[in-house]
């Protein structure tokens, strides 16, 4: 048995983006022989030198540990496919102009894979794709003359969160394998055996996380179309939870309730669960917005009315405007005011700014004529590419430089360090002690006692030295 658990599988991962790179390095960490292919020569050259292009905990160390041992990088797809038993497709599936997923990269890769099939291979979709993509992959391979007995197609969606992707990969809530045949399921079973048997967690140098030998990773084997839907439905449901609590937060504001208490009270019901019920300024990132639209498209193509998903999106947009309105009504007028903005990444512990709600709010402030001094621990370089520094917008080296002379300080991203600010120092730097917190990082009663005007999401606002003036007077 233990021999089976430790049998290395020859794996090819196509695409060294977020998902591909994490998967390739983590497969090597669990003991497999991995070749990771990308057509970007520069990227491959840099990976061959051990340079990690993304901000992801543990990834640098694991790459250094396995580079040129368990994992190799190359631009040569054909050879890599020939040598592998399983070929994971992890290329981008960007949103097309119609909102559906653009699968042209997937199709191009499948055509290339066809040329390297010299013996039985399992072709695995790892990219997030709409239902029935597995059937298209099969059809393309057949069109290239590949006989049915030489391949199976499997859907094995990833559920990695940015910033914690390595731990998510090695300690998954579940591994979903959508396999067409028992033979293909068996190959995936071997690949994930170190995690599903718990063997990985008994190793002295295993990356620590929630799972252990006694409680290893669960694996769910389904049909490929069920696996494809599990991915889209999971992300859409999580986005729905966030939009739901965000509307509840607005009701809380109106009636003087505290959304954090409400979320806690709801979350203690095991049927609801406490996670993804943090009210804020809306979700962002490379997955939720794109996957929600793509899933809505899937439903539409089947003639099914899934307006709930459009509503989730609408609420998400509304939540950003609502926060902007909060800034407006706290400061009365915005033109010419200096605002300190903490957080540019779409969430903490990442440098990713794709669909970042914080960036959208900064754009609204700039349009309203405010001056913004922005700081983020990791995402400033990327932000400069979409929001270049100019007269109205400045990037600064830390939270305190941002606060200097500002009319108010905004918290836009949930970075742990933003929850531990030196409040006395801030008070001395800000023009007025006003903090508008889009991530509820502080206790509002304490902030009031410390003399701040503190406005957060779905909780009573405290106005220091000011009487609360009805919002309607300001907007």
For residue 310, give every residue at least 6 positions away whose Cβ sits within 8 Å of its Cβ, in sequence order, or none.
296
> Per rule CB under 6 A, is residue 162 in the interface with ligand UDX?
yes
Q: Which is nearer to ligand UDX, 18 or 151 (CB)?
A: 18
Alpha helices in 206-257 (DSSP H): 224-255
Tell me the pairing of strands 71-74 and 86-89. Answer: unpaired
What's the min distance (Å) between Cβ of 284 and ligand UDX? 4
> Per rule CB under 6 A, is residue 235 in the interface with ligand UDX?
yes
User: Starting at the edge strand that comes first in sequence, how are the strands of the sheet with 434-437 ordered?
Assistant: 393-395, 371-375, 338-342, 408-411, 434-437, 453-455
Number of DSSP helices (H) and strands (E) in the chain, helices first: 18, 14
Adjacent-strand bridge partners of 51 = none
> Per rule CB under 6 A, is residue 88 in the interface with ligand UDX?
no
From the list 12, 36, 252, 287, the catalytic residue is 287
Nearest to 450 by CA among 468, 427, 466: 427
For 369, the token pair is 């004529």
Integer Cα distance of 315 and 292 in angstroms: 13
Among the listed ranges 35-43, 76-84, 152-160, 187-195, the one in contact with ligand UDX (CB under 6 A) is 152-160
Among the listed ranges 146-154, 278-286, 327-335, 365-373, the one in contact with ligand UDX (CB under 6 A) is 278-286
One character per residue 359-398, x = contact with ligand UDX (rule: CB under 6 A): ----------------------------------------
Distances in whole angstroms, Cα of residue 224 to Cα of each of 131, 156, 318, 422: 8, 8, 36, 52
> Per rule CB under 6 A, is residue 295 in the interface with ligand UDX?
no
Please report the sign of the dihedral spanned by the C-alpha atoms of residue 225, residue 226, residue 231, residue 235. positive
Nearest to 55 by CA among 102, 22, 12, 92: 22
One character per residue 319-348, x = contact with ligand UDX (rule: CB under 6 A): ---------------------------xx-
> Per rule CB under 6 A, is residue 290 in the interface with ligand UDX?
no
Q: Which is nearer to ligand UDX, 35 or 309 (CB)?
A: 309
What's the min distance (Å) between Cβ of 285 and ligand UDX? 3
Candidate list 242, 262, 334, 361; residue touching ligand UDX; CB under 6 A: 242
12 is catalytic: no
What's the min distance (Å) between Cβ of 319 and ligand UDX? 9
Please report the sign of the dihedral spanned by the C-alpha atoms of residue 177, residue 180, residue 185, residue 188. negative
> Per rule CB under 6 A, is residue 158 in the interface with ligand UDX?
yes
> Per rule CB under 6 A, is residue 59 in the interface with ligand UDX?
no
For 379, the token pair is 């995402």
Candidate list 178, 216, 224, 280; residue touching ligand UDX; CB under 6 A: 280
Length of the chain: 475
One character per residue 112-151, x = contact with ligand UDX (rule: CB under 6 A): ----------------------------------------
The site for ligand UDX (CB under 6 A) is made up of 158-162, 235, 238, 242, 276-278, 280, 283-285, 287-288, 346-347, 414
Active site residues: 287
């Amino acid at each position: 048995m233990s021999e089976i658990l430790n049998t290395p599988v020859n794996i090819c991962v196509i695409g060294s983006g977020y998902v591909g790179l994490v998967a390739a390095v983590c497969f090597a960490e669990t003991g497999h022989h991995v070749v990771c292919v990308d057509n970007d020569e520069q990227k491959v050259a840099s990976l061959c030198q051990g340079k990690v292009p993304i901000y992801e905990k543990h990834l640098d160390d694991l790459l250094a540990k396995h580079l040129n041992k368990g994992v190799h990088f190359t631009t040569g797809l054909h050879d890599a496919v020939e040598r592998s038993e399983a070929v994971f497709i992890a290329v981008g599936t960007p949103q097309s102009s119609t909102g559906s997923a653009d699968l042209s990269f997937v199709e191009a890769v499948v055509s290339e894979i066809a040329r390297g099939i010299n013996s039985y291979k399992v072709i695995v979709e790892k990219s997030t794709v709409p239902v029935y993509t597995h059937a298209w992959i099969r059809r393309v391979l057949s069109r290239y003359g590949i006989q049915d007995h030489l391949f199976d197609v499997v859907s094995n969606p990833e559920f990695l969160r940015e910033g914690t992707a390595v731990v998510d990969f090695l300690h998954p809530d579940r591994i979903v394998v959508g396999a067409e045949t028992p033979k293909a399921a068996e190959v995936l079973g071997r690949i994930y055996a170190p995690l599903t048997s718990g063997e990985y967690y008994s190793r002295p140098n295993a990356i620590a996380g929630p799972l252990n030998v006694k409680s290893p990773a669960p694996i769910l084997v389904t049909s490929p179309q069920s696996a494809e839907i599990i991915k889209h439905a999971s992300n859409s449901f999580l986005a729905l939870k966030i939009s739901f609590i965000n509307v509840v937060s607005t009701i809380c504001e109106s009636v003087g309730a505290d959304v954090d208490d409400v979320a806690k009270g709801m979350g203690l019901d095991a049927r609801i669960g406490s996670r993804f019920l943090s009210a804020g300024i809306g979700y962002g990132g490379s997955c939720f917005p794109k996957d929600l639209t793509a899933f809505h498209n899937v439903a539409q193509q089947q003639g099914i009315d899934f307006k709930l998903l459009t509503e989730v999106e609408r609420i998400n947009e509304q939540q950003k405007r609502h926060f902007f309105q909060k800034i407006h009504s706290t400061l009365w007028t915005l033109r010419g005011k200096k605002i300190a903005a903490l957080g540019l990444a779409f969430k903490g512990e990442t440098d990713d700014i794709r669909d970042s709600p914080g960036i959208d709010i900064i754009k609204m402030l700039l349009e309203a004529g405010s001056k913004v001094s922005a700081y983020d621990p990791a995402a400033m370089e990327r932000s400069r590419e979409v929001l270049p520094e100019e007269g109205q917008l400045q990037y600064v080296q830390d939270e305190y430089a941002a606060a200097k002379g500002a009319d108010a300080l905004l918290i836009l991203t949930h970075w742990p360090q933003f929850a531990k600010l030196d409040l006395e120092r801030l008070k001395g730097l800000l023009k007025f002690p006003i903090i508008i917190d889009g991530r509820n990082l502080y206790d509002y009663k304490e902030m009031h006692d410390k003399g701040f005007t503190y406005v957060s999401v779905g909780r009573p606002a405290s106005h220091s030295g000011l009487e609360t003036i009805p919002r309607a007077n300001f907007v």
